[in-house]
Amino acid sequence: MLLCIDVGNTNITIGVFDGDDLICNYRMNTKVRRTSDEYGYVLHNFLTNAKIDTDQIEGVIVSSVVPKIMHSFRNGIVKFIGVEPLVMGPGVKTGVSVQLENPRSVGADRIADVVGAIKEYGYPLLIVDFGTATTYDYVDENGVFKAGAIGVGIESGANALWGQTAQLPEVEIRKPRSVMGKNTQTAMQAGIFYQFLGGFEKTVEAFRSECGDFKVIATGGLGRVICQHTDDIDVYDPNLIFKGLKTVYERTREYEASRKNRGDSEHREDEREACSALNV
C-alpha cells in the first residue's frame, strides 16, 4: 500500500492506495508546534481506524508547502510507520515540463495536481485548486505547465471579513437561497458566494481569451461549494492530489530502479573488461 500525504497551510490530507484504489482518506489541522511523536501517533491512529497495519505500507510520499513542520513530520513517519518518505522536491520525477520563470518556487501541491490532472484527463487543462489560496494552473496542448494565477481562497477571504469587522459574525460558506439578503447572515453569505463565484468565472474567461479552449479540472475542499453552480467546471475531482502523488512516486521509483539496473550492467561490463585484460 502507498500512503500519500499533502501538507497544506490549513490542513494535512492523507490518502491510502491499495494498488490503484484509494481506499481511505483523512484530514487534520496543520499545527506547526506538534512534535514528531504527535504527528506519528495521529497518522498511526488513522491507519488503525482504517484497519491497515503499518507493515502493509510499502511507501510514503509527501508534498508540503509548510517547511517548518517537515523535520518533525518526517521523523514521525519514520518512527511510527517505519518508512522513509519520498518528499516532493528536487530529484523526484514528475514527467511534466514546467516552463515557468522559477520552477523550483512552484508549490509541491500545485505540481502534484498538474501531474494527476494530466494523467487522468489529458490536456490542455486549467487546474483550479480551491484551498487556502485559489490557484489556477494552465497546461497547454503539448502537456507543458506554462503559467498560473494565485488568488485569495474563499475561506481565507471570509475569515478576513469577519475577523476584521467587530459586528459581522462567522457564517457558513454556502450558496444562499437568494442574493437578496434579509439579515446580516444571509447578506454575508450572498456577498461571499457571488463575489467568489464571479471572480472564478472571470478568471477562467481571462485564461480562455489568452489560451483558447481547455478543460477545467477543479479540486480542493471548497471546490464543492462552487462546482454545482457554474458551467465553467468540467470535472470536480477532490482526490486529484492523491492521484498526482501516486504517479510521482511510481515514476521516481521506476527511474531509481532503471538507474540501478544500468549501474549494475555497467559494473558487470567493467568486470568483464578487467577480466579480459588480465587474460591477454
Structural domain boundaries in the chain: 1-91+241-280, 122-238
Q: How confident is the model at residue 259 (pLDDT cuts 50, 70, 90)?
A: confident
Would you give the DSSP letter of residue 141? T
pLDDT beyond 80 at 73: yes
Strands 133-139, 86-87: pairing kind: unpaired
Architecture of the CATH domain 1-91+241-280 = 2-Layer Sandwich (3.30)
pLDDT beyond 60 at 66: yes
Averaged pLDDT, 199-224? 95
> Cβ distance 11 to 30 under 8 Å?
yes
Nearest residue to 47 via CA among 65, 63, 26, 62: 26
Quote the pTM value: 0.88
Query: Exactly one of 18, 37, 55, 109 is catalytic; which is it?
Result: 109
Phi and psi, residue 152, nearest 5°: -70, 135
Q: 113 catalytic, yes or no?
A: no
CA dist 10 and 13 (Å) reads: 10
CA dist 117 and 137 (Å) reads: 11
> Cβ distance 209 to 157 under 8 Å?
no
Architecture of the CATH domain 122-238 = 2-Layer Sandwich (3.30)
Neighbours of 250 (CB within 10 A): 15
pLDDT at 185: 92
pLDDT at 277: 43
Beta bridge partners of 7: 12, 64
Cell 434579509: give the residue. 182
Averaged pLDDT, 237-260? 94
Are the folds of 1-91+241-280 and 122-238 the same? yes
CA dist 249 and 264 (Å) reads: 22
Neighbours of 231 (CB within 10 A): 7
